[in-house]
Amino acid sequence: MPNHGCQSNVDRIRRMLIKTPAAAFRNQAEVDAQWQPLNYLERPDYALALAEYKQFRALLAQSGAEIHELPVHADTGLDSLYTHDPLLITNRGYVLCNMGKAARRGEAQAAGEYLQTIGVPMLGRIEAPGTLEGGDVVWLDQRTVAVGEGYRSNAAGIAQLRTLLGDSVDEMIAVPLPHWNGPDDVLHLMSFVSPLDHDLFLIYSRLMPVVFRQRLLARGIRLLEVPDAEYDSMACNVLAVAPRECIMLAGNPITQALLQDAGVEVATYVGSEISAKGAGGPTCLTRPFWRG
């Protein structure tokens, strides 16, 4: 039986990596020292973050997934709470990303070291000058992958990933990302594209390249549109724990109703400290490494 494999964003999560605020933030003094250099929107409250994460983790547990918690690591900081970005998981093993945000570059090795201890093999790593972050990678199906090319993932990193994936994929689609709020902001492909099922995606069209949007429609994918009023509150960042079952940040009632009307089962969590201030929603907070 496999113990890893994740060339999907929607199949049921069997195993996942997370990192609690206790391990990533450590204490309020560390938060106070790091939040501004890391471009957080506001100062997180450590005690509130622990309480919010407890609720979030309970929702993950309800999905039935086997949850693995990354430990404290000297080479990581606050951003290591967002375990999705440092790794890409394939059916052949994990890929260590080279993060576009320099302050996060220790996270990939730290997460990879843990995966080695539980028997998940390493496929390879992205080397400078290439950069790649997990939030830029969206699987359209098991053999078709889209990768956002922008400030966090560059052409050299995407080319290296194509080589590493080899014949395990038929097609890789490079999706050019807009400048949006500039290089210091977080804009990944998954900032405006969230798969909910093989034929259902939640999207924010105003940020989408026309050619890529048309390509999704040509594949028969139904697109649900996040309203302008809820984009900044991360309504488009939802975690599919299984086809048409998702977790999303509370406070986005229009998008939640849209999902439910489309037959999607929705669970919500409060995330002012663990999501809003660091601009990382439920997808960012989790790294599934086995779906199926």
Tens digits of residue pLDDT in 118-131: 999 999 999 999 99
Quote the pLDDT of residue 126.
98
**CA 219 – CA 274 distance, rounded (Å):** 35
Check pLDDT > 90 for residue 184: no
Residue 287 has pLDDT above 80, yes or no: yes
- Region 6-35: mean pLDDT is 98
Higher-confidence residue: 2 or 66? 66
pLDDT tens column, 268-277:
999 999 999 9
Distance between CA 161 and CA 179 in Å, rounded?
23
79: domain CATH number is 3.75.10.10
| Chain centroid offset of residue 165 CA | 19
Q: Which domain holds residue 193?
A: 13-290
From the list 271, 268, 267, 287, the residue with the least C-alpha distance to 279 is 271
Residue 9 pLDDT > 70, yes or no? yes
- Collapsing DSSP to helix, strand or coil, 162 comes out as helix
- Whole-number pLDDT of residue 185: 85
Q: Is residue 5 one of the residues assigned to a domain?
A: no
Any residues with CB less than 8 A from the CB of 170 and at least 6 apart, and which?
Answer: 143, 144
Determine, yes or no, domain membership for 243. Answer: yes
Q: Which of 123, 169, 167, 132 is nearest to 152 (CA)?
A: 132
CA gap 272, 42 in Å, rounded: 10
Q: Which two tokens stand for residue 269?
A: 């969590």
Q: How confident is the model at residue 101 (pLDDT cuts 50, 70, 90)?
A: very high
Provide the pLDDT for residue 137: 98
* Residue 93 domain flag: yes
Examine residue 223 and state whether it is found in any structural domain, yes or no: yes
Domains contained in the chain, number: 1
Residue 220 lies in a domain: yes
Amino acid at 59: L
* pLDDT band for position 183 (cuts 50, 70, 90): confident
132, amino acid identity = L
Say what percent of the chain tops pLDDT 70: 100
pLDDT at position 1 is 66
Residue 6 lies in a domain: no
Beta carbons within 8 Å of 91's beta carbon, 6+ residues apart: 2, 4, 5, 6, 7, 142, 168
* Segments in 10-71 forming alpha helices (H): 21-24, 28-34, 46-62
Q: Which pLDDT tens digit goes with each residue over 34-90?
A: 999 999 999 999 999 999 999 999 999 999 999 999 999 999 999 999 999 999 999
- Is 4 part of any domain? no
* Secondary structure (DSSP) of 210-231: HHHHHHHHHTT-EEEEPPHHHH
Task: Provide the pLDDT confidence category of residue 2 given band limits of 50, 70 and 90.
Answer: confident
pLDDT 10s digits, 105-155: 999 999 999 999 999 999 999 999 999 999 999 999 999 999 999 999 999
Domain assignment present for residue 43? The answer is yes
